[in-house]
Chains A and B, each alone.
Chain A
Amino acid sequence: MSGSGLPSFDPRDPLGIDDLLSDEDLAVRDTVRRWAADRVLPHVADWYERGELPGIRELARELGSIGALGMSLTGYGCAGASAVQYGLACLELEAADSGIRSLVSVQGSLAMYAIHRFGSEEQKNAWLPRMASGEVIGCFGLTEPDHGSDPAGMTTYAKRDGGDWVINGRKMWITNGSVAGVAVVWARTDEGIRGFVVPADAPGFSAPEIKHKWSLRASVTSELVLDDVRLPADAVLPEGTGLRGPLSCLSHARYGIVWGAMGAARASFEAALEYATTREQFGRPIGGFQLTQAKLADMAVELHKGILLAHHLGRRMDAGRLRPEQVSFGKLNNVREAIEICRTARTILGANGISLEYPVMRHATNLESVLTYEGTVEMHQLVLGKALTGLDAFR
């Protein structure tokens, strides 16, 4: 407490946003923060450099045991956490690395969410408990080599053959693909777009890993190849026909990214702040120069505005009042600002800024993917533009 009786200024939480959190919220955050500090931070630079995630199955099981997989879903072994708690977890995970957060987003918000929301009771019982525990990793195949922002044009096709389905097609840029035990695959059918639960051991299914990525290097990204994959009638998700199905999953995952991006930004900001107060040039700490302070102040402003925005959206989601346009608003702003914060942080670190010894460049390059997946910046601008004007500019 300062003399005025006001709470003291906390550089880590300058707006006092933590006051919005309950004891349980703080405990959830603490668990994830500690797990990431113990299990990810000591190794992630090495994983990144090697471009692999060697212990991914073990990591998934550990994330399952703390309850981080499908955490905001209820039943079937899921934790039933609030949207705010899910957001806090995403932020802490992405403060370690966007790749780890992607693993959790895709598992919980895309693959599990799709089965939870659109699956039959049998599908839920068959997959969700094992996915919540991390025993089975899931992936979500929507994007195709020739259809990204416009998934309505997808060519992957599922044909009815007697009681069975036969699927042919390619999916591209699929997170977790090569390590997945189950893939939720979206395909065109004679009744419109439908979702399918495809076990990875189905004959005709394969998932070669995509190499040569310069972003999200501590994350598995794959191509899904479906050559005459024959599935029984009950492999189709009974609910959620049309693009509405995958789009509602994406909206949920995107919500997590609104928080997650601020984690990457926070880690970079903290690295820059620490560096600015210890690195000396011209006889004093570089944080003492006005130009550096302007950068730090602007970074802090955007960082905490973004976190506040994430909270606001989280509360709306918990109240069942969050619209997809609002998620677009959050994703557009927070990822764009996060990458700007990382780039500014990089300048403060000078040459060290380009080194993997510091987290900043890793976060900045990761965010290049985050900027693109789950709807590119331009797509979210178009969504907001349409909502504001009533004029559809992209179809």
Chain B
Amino acid sequence: MSLRIVVCVKYVPDATGDRHFAEDLTTDRDAVDGLLSELDEYAVEQALQIADAADDAEITVLTVGPEDAKDALRKALSMGADKGVHVEDDDLHGTDVVGTSLVLAKAVEHVGYDLVLCGMASTDGTMGVLPAILAERLGVPQVTLLSEVAVADGTVTGRRDGDAASEQLQAQLPAVVSVTDQSGEARYPSFKGIMAAKKKPVESLDLSDLGIDADEVGLGGAWTKVEDAAKRPERTAGTIVKDEGEGGKQLAEFLVSQKFI
């Protein structure tokens, strides 16, 4: 039977743009252009490699996000994924990681899966916990932060590089896996891929399609609340330490004052 891979991809505001919060302290997604989170490109790349190595595999890319999030799906489809699923609903505005993981879990179940692949973190929220929560909701093993991954005979194996050691991990499918930016450079969408992506199917779903109550998501359903946001203070001129015999001491004091040591 065909290996069903679902890759969760997030549409994020372009980090090179001038990003702002909206009045309700959610991210203002209209002000800057968005794109497929770069860290999720690694997940798409690994999905493509796993699919190449398998006899038969189908890759679905899944995103929860506003209308324009379709662009992230298109990009993943032009890299070579087979079909897309876009969950969009006005009631999703302000959803936090708890709500997003619920929506993704329902959508992944709706699609059907053997392997769910995620990035290591989004480039805007950067919590990095979504894959874990998602696995918990799905009730399947989680193998996170892999820098090497392979699938064979219903088992996923991989390597997680820590500061002190590298771990070899393995889990039975179905499972949720997240991959790091060390897992291998993502390919460029080829021109043929770009043309082909136009014709690949993208299914649009809303909350009612997934049987999710509006109260469970959105700003209202969020477990976290942004109370206040302030612009980072302008950079000030650096501190110059003149070494007149006390330089080392002054340096150490500076580092202590900045909580570096």
A34 sits at the interface (CB 8 A): yes
B205 sits at the interface (CB 8 A): no
Quick check: A31 and B195 within 8 Å, CB to CB? no
- Residues of A close to B189: CB separation below 8 A: 27, 30-31, 66
- Residues of B close to A71: CB separation below 8 A: 191
B75 sits at the interface (CB 8 A): yes
Quick check: A67 and B74 within 8 Å, CB to CB? no
Quick check: B188 and A79 within 8 Å, CB to CB? no
CB B138 to nearest CB in A, in angstroms, measures 32
Quick check: B194 and A27 within 8 Å, CB to CB? yes
Quick check: B191 and A66 within 8 Å, CB to CB? yes
Task: Mark B181-219 against chain A: 1 for CB-CB distance below 8 A, else 0.
Answer: 000000111111111011000000000000000000000
What total count of A-B pairs have CB within 8 Å? Answer: 43
- Residues of B close to A85: CB separation below 8 A: 191
B123 sits at the interface (CB 8 A): no
A24 sits at the interface (CB 8 A): yes
Task: Mark B55-96 against chain A: 1 for CB-CB distance below 8 A, else 0.
Answer: 000000000000000010011001000000000000000000
CB A304 to nearest CB in B, in angstroms, measures 21
CB B246 to nearest CB in A, in angstroms, measures 36
21 A-B residue pairs with Cβ-Cβ distance under 8 Å, sorted by A, are A24-B194, A24-B195, A24-B198, A27-B189, A27-B194, A28-B191, A30-B189, A31-B189, A31-B190, A31-B191, A31-B194, A65-B187, A65-B188, A66-B188, A66-B189, A66-B190, A67-B191, A68-B191, A79-B191, A79-B195, A85-B191
What separation, in Å, do the CA atoms of A79 and B198 have in the docked complex? 14
What separation, in Å, do the CA atoms of A34 and B198 have in the docked complex? 21
- Residues of B close to A190: CB separation below 8 A: none
Q: Which of A28, A35, A65 contacts B194 (CB 8 A)?
A: A28
Quick check: A27 and B78 within 8 Å, CB to CB? yes
Quick check: A34 and B191 within 8 Å, CB to CB? no
Chain B residue with minimal CB distance to A71? B191
What separation, in Å, do the CA atoms of A80 and B192 have in the docked complex? 8
> Among B75, B78, B190, B191, which residue has the most Cβ atoms of chain A within 10 A?
B191
Chain B residue with minimal CB distance to A85? B191
A23 sits at the interface (CB 8 A): yes
A225 sits at the interface (CB 8 A): no
What separation, in Å, do the CA atoms of A68 and B191 have in the docked complex? 7
Quick check: A67 and B190 within 8 Å, CB to CB? yes
What separation, in Å, do the CA atoms of A34 and B191 have in the docked complex? 13
Task: Mark A99-140 against chain B: 1 for CB-CB distance below 8 A, else 0.
Answer: 000000000000000000000000000000000000000000
What separation, in Å, do the CA atoms of A27 and B75 have in the docked complex? 8
Q: Which of A129-179 contact B (CB under 8 A)?
A: none
What separation, in Å, do the CA atoms of A28 and B190 have in the docked complex? 8
- Residues of B close to A247: CB separation below 8 A: none
A81 sits at the interface (CB 8 A): yes
What separation, in Å, do the CA atoms of A68 and B190 have in the docked complex? 8
- Residues of A close to B197: CB separation below 8 A: 27
- Residues of B close to A28: CB separation below 8 A: 191, 194
Quick check: A67 and B192 within 8 Å, CB to CB? yes
CB A124 to nearest CB in B, in angstroms, measures 18
What separation, in Å, do the CA atoms of A30 and B195 have in the docked complex? 14
What separation, in Å, do the CA atoms of A30 and B187 have in the docked complex? 13
Q: Which of A4-49 contact B (CB under 8 A)?
A: 23-24, 27-28, 30-31, 34-35
Quick check: A79 and B78 within 8 Å, CB to CB? no
- Residues of B close to A30: CB separation below 8 A: 189
Known: A27-B74, A31-B189. 7 other contacts (CB 8 A): A23-B71, A27-B194, A27-B197, A31-B190, A31-B191, A65-B187, A66-B189
